[in-house]
A and B are shown apart, each in its own frame.
Chain A
Amino acid sequence: MNYFPDEVLEHVFDFITSHKDRNSVSLVCKSWYKIEKYSRQRVFIGNCYSISPERLIARFPGLKSLTLKGKPHFADFNLVPDDWGGFLYPWIKAMARSRIGLEELRLKRMVVSDESLELLSKSFPNFKSLVLVSCEGFTTDGLAAVAANCRLLRELDLQENEVEDHRGHWLSCFPENCTSLVLLNFACLKGEINLASLERLVARSPNLKSLRLNRAVPFDTLQRLLMRAPQLVDLGTGSYVHDPYSEAYNKLKAAIQSCNSIRSLSGFLEVAPRCMSAVYPVCENLTFLNLSYAAGLQSIELTKLIQYCRKLQRLWILDCIGDKGLGVVASTCKELQELRVFPSDPFDAGNAAVTEEGLVLVSAGCPKLNSLLYFCQQMTNAALITVAKNCTNFIRFRLCILDPIKPDPVTNQPLDEGFGAIVRSCKGLKRLSLSGLLTDQVFYYIGMHAKQLEMLSIAFAGDSDKGMLYVLNGCKKLRKLEIRDCPFGDAALLEDMGKYETMRSLWMSSCEVTLGACKTLAKKMPSLNVEIINESEQTEFNLEDRQKVDKMYLYRTVVGHRKDAPEFVWLL
């Protein structure tokens, strides 16, 4: 196709931003492939072992922004041992060597060493944005390197990482002439920071829009920071504890009132409930409120606060808000799209404060709801059916009943019908997590109706291989399937081996799958890596083919077996 010169095509391609679309564009013809290849700046790699750094660089030499995900999702819940993999260093090394002009790096569940952060900070002069989510392996020394060397740094976003805090003055490492910060989130750090440096840094960052502090930043510092940065759009408080009758508190109140751009609020890890009233003026414009770490707030305070939040679109909260509190949410937050209710005491199932009632109330009051994560004490089919009727727009529906195989407490039936109603009614459902007592029937419904489903998480569910097969056969767009403690075995695993090439990954743990079947699969499908994570004393040679594997993780890849697997991971 030679209708247009390359530059024109390039310009046109600039408007195509979705990864999927760009991938499609590159398949049209050789010329388009070439143009797309050199003009591609943003690359998303959902599984860091599906491709190697060298292949990536060869494929997209113009790479500027890279997103990498490492460990499988269940690693979040301690199901994957620590040294499994997902190391950042090889990627940095390769990109540095090839002089890639990296500007943005977003990582999830990767192991990030200080060494890699240092190398990163020194190798990419235009580096602007570092986002680390659920990563580990680094200390504040690595952060110091980034602060010191990335002259154009705009974003440093640390979300829920395990960081070893050396209490060094990493914040002081931002040079005095660094004025480019737009986003600074260090809420997950546990240690002290240099408050004076922080204040100076904020003072010289006129573009700062998002600031999330850690627990070590006290109340009065918060007040001074707000005075310096009234332009903030996103605020995460540090320690929010003070005497509400003090001068400092009044000052904070005044400071907050001058911040009329705040649309997003989080933090409150340590909170004095009486001080929350200072925040009320901000509430009426809030679109995102994250109180999911505010263990010090009771339902009363939460509901008082929420009553002001009429424009709220996303709410993350603890279950101590209770069903009644959710009723207040339902009647106040008519724009609500995303709700996450986390358990305040995950291991005490008897005391969970929300039930199906809260969810029904929210579904009735918030018709725009499309994303849900809900930890609750119990759920009924009737409630799920009602929810399905009220909200047909769900894209993400993740339900976690704290007691994993609890049936409908009213009818004592499995929750098949309830979830069936959800998948039938929400035609755009992309992500689903199941819980409660479930038989093969729910998988029949899922296979039948969840045609857009991309990610499915199953635990303690199903009766037989049929369940898994319904899903594999019916969900054409399935990308990630993770299963634990279900009676699915070899027959289901091996029925349609080609299916796994259309998916990113499959996780099965504590199921009925045997080593022999995994070996068969690995042999027949060279484009898949089949990994067995084996934590017992036995070696590969002792384990017989007919023995069940504890954990299996398989994923498609173009580069074969990875070289960095630890001893307890067997690559078949």
Chain B
Amino acid sequence: MSPPLLGVEEEGQSSVSSPAVDCIPQNGLGIKEWNYLGLSDFSSVDSSGVACLSEDNKNNLNLKATELRLGLPGSQSPERKTELCLLNSGKLDEKALFPLLPSEDGICLPLQKSVVTGNKRGFSDTIDGFSEVKGTVYSEKNWMFHGAGLDSQSPQPLSHAKYSVAQASVKKDGPANAIQEQPCATNGTNLNRTGVFNNSSSAPAAKAQVVGWPPVRSFRTKTLATSSKNNDEVDGKQGPAALFVKVSMDGAPYLRKVDLRMYSTYRELSSALEKMFRCFTLGQCGAHATPGKEISSESKLKDLLHGSEYVVTYEDKDGDWMLVGDVPWEMFTETCKRLKIMKSTDAIGLAPRAMDKSEKDC
């Protein structure tokens, strides 16, 4: 029965870059009870689902099942053997029937509740989402009721549901797949639809992963996945990309950020800083009402960086505070970590050339 599984896994694999990390953190806000045997055992599913990771054997599964794991479920390998999962459901049955069995497991009921692998909605949330859907206009559709079947307490849907619950933890992309069972019979129609249905009515967290949907060529999916990985690397590297550094100014209530890549000379940078901090200097003017200075805003601006009132400094890679303007621009952008606009009076200790600042192009 693997190929349909495979198909979905492939999709899952090709979207490897996103789901594990981007899963919308909707915690299964406490496990709501999925009551076919009076237990909430989604967590147990998850922990044993996590166990599916270990490639080998039952023993491993057992051990893993005892761990309280709060890791991202999406970090699991998408490789799943059917056998393992069936094995899983076997295990689950056991747990379900003997919830308070002192452990071998070490997990007893209350603990189960707290094992919430946060990035997915609990299976029961899914079912709840389902029941919302039932109430809508689509409830007439025959294939809706397949979902209803899951609610029943007969043993057969039970193993179905368990199987699919195991699957839910298996797939990275959301509990909607819980509905998307991969039964042993050939007919998968309804399931695809119900899985998908869930998606349309419930919160954005659920992603229905249907084989072959959306209809994007696998070549394109693979290429884009590699591309975005590479582009991230690229940006990290020599950075023709943006290079934002913090700019603080004495007396300003908050800091700003500038993109050093936007400028190619010190002059450009300083005029940009002027513009940015204009409001603070004017503010200061007004607030302090500096005695003796009848200042027009324009002249104040001019004075900001070119004058002797303020000095622009930067912290370099070594953590030292340096005066802006000494090194070539390229070197500056490579070593600058943050900027600080200091009052000249404060900067005396920094730069012997502070006095000459008015002559410098900063």
Contacts and interface: CB of A to CB of B under 8 A. Distances in A.
Given A403-B199, A437-B200, 12 more contacts: A77-B216, A81-B3, A269-B230, A274-B240, A345-B18, A403-B200, A404-B213, A405-B200, A407-B200, A485-B193, A510-B189, A512-B189
B1 to A, nearest CB: 6
Contact of B7 (A78, A272, A534): A78
A160 interface: yes
A547 B216 CA distance: 30
A192 to B, nearest CB: 15
Interface string A245-277: 100000000000000000000000111111100
Contacts of B10: 78
Contact of A272 (B15, B184, B199, B240): B240
A79 B227 contact: no
Range of interface residues on A (Cβ < 8 Å): 35 or more
Interface string B1-34: 1011001001100010011001010000000000
A346 B186 contact: no
A77 B227 contact: no
Interface in A205-227: 215
B213 A548 contact: no
A375 B330 CA distance: 42
A274 B221 contact: no
- Which of B3, B220, B240 gathers the greatest number of chain A CB atoms within 10 Å? B240
B289 interface: no
**8 closest pairs, A vs B, by CB?**
A77-B212, A350-B204, A296-B231, A272-B240, A535-B3, A347-B15, A295-B227, A295-B228
7 contacts: A269-B230, A273-B240, A342-B220, A350-B205, A510-B188, A510-B189, A538-B186
Contacts of A242: 240
B66 to A, nearest CB: 33
Nearest to B192: A485
B216 A274 contact: no
A537 interface: yes
A244 interface: yes
A162 B219 contact: yes
Interface string B177-214: 00000001011110011001101100011011111111
Contact of B196 (A274, A344, A405): A405
Given A405-B193, A535-B3, A342 B216 contact: yes
B101 interface: no
B218 interface: yes
A341 to B, nearest CB: 12
A241 interface: yes
A215 B209 CA distance: 30
Contact of A536 (B1, B212, B234): B1
Contacts of A512: 189
Interface in A123-165: 134, 160-162
B231 A78 contact: no
Contacts of A273: 240-241
Contacts of B230: 215, 269-270
Contacts of A404: 196, 208, 210, 213-214
Given A269-B227, A295-B228, A543-B186, A343 B211 contact: no
A79 B211 contact: yes
Given A275-B240, A407-B200, A241 B234 contact: yes
Contact of B241 (A272, A405, A457): A272
A160 B193 contact: no
Interface in A367-416: 375, 400, 402-407, 412
A460 B196 contact: yes
Contact of B234 (A272, A484, A547): A272
A78 B235 CA distance: 33
A510 B3 CA distance: 14
A104 interface: no
A275 B221 CA distance: 25
Given A295-B228, A404-B210, A77 B240 contact: no
- Which of A241, A433, A510 gathers the greatest number of chain B CB atoms within 10 Å? A510
A348 interface: yes
Given A78-B10, A536-B1, A270 B227 contact: yes
Range of interface residues on B (Cβ < 8 Å): 35 or more
B189 A295 contact: no
A293 B216 CA distance: 13
A318 B208 CA distance: 22
Contact of B217 (A160, A270, A272, A294): A160
Contacts of B213: 77, 404, 459
Interface string A152-195: 00000000111000000000000000000000000010000000
Contacts of B3: 81, 535-536
Nearest to A533: B3
B207 A348 contact: yes
A74 interface: yes
Contacts of A485: 189, 192-193, 210
B126 to A, nearest CB: 16
Contact of B219 (A74, A134, A510): A134
B186 A547 contact: yes
- Which of B199, B210, B211, B227 gathers the greatest number of chain A CB atoms within 10 Å? B227
B240 A241 contact: yes
Contact of A346 (B15, B138, B199, B204): B15
Contacts of B218: 76-78
Nearest to A162: B219
Contact of B261 (A274, A433, A537): A274
Contacts of B241: 272-274
Contacts of B221: 346
Interface in B38-91: none
Nearest to B143: A487
Contacts of B19: 347-348
A92 interface: no
Nearest to A161: B219
Contact of A296 (B7, B143, B234): B234
Interface in A40-69: none
A276 to B, nearest CB: 10
B97 interface: no
Nearest to A398: B215
B238 A349 contact: no
A275 B261 CA distance: 12
B189 A343 contact: no
Contacts of B196: 403-405, 460
A412 B11 contact: no
B295 interface: no
Contacts of B227: 269-270, 293-296
A39 B10 CA distance: 47
A405 B330 CA distance: 53
A76 B216 CA distance: 7
Contacts of B231: 270-271, 295-296
Contacts of A510: 187-189, 192
A245 B265 CA distance: 12
A550 interface: yes
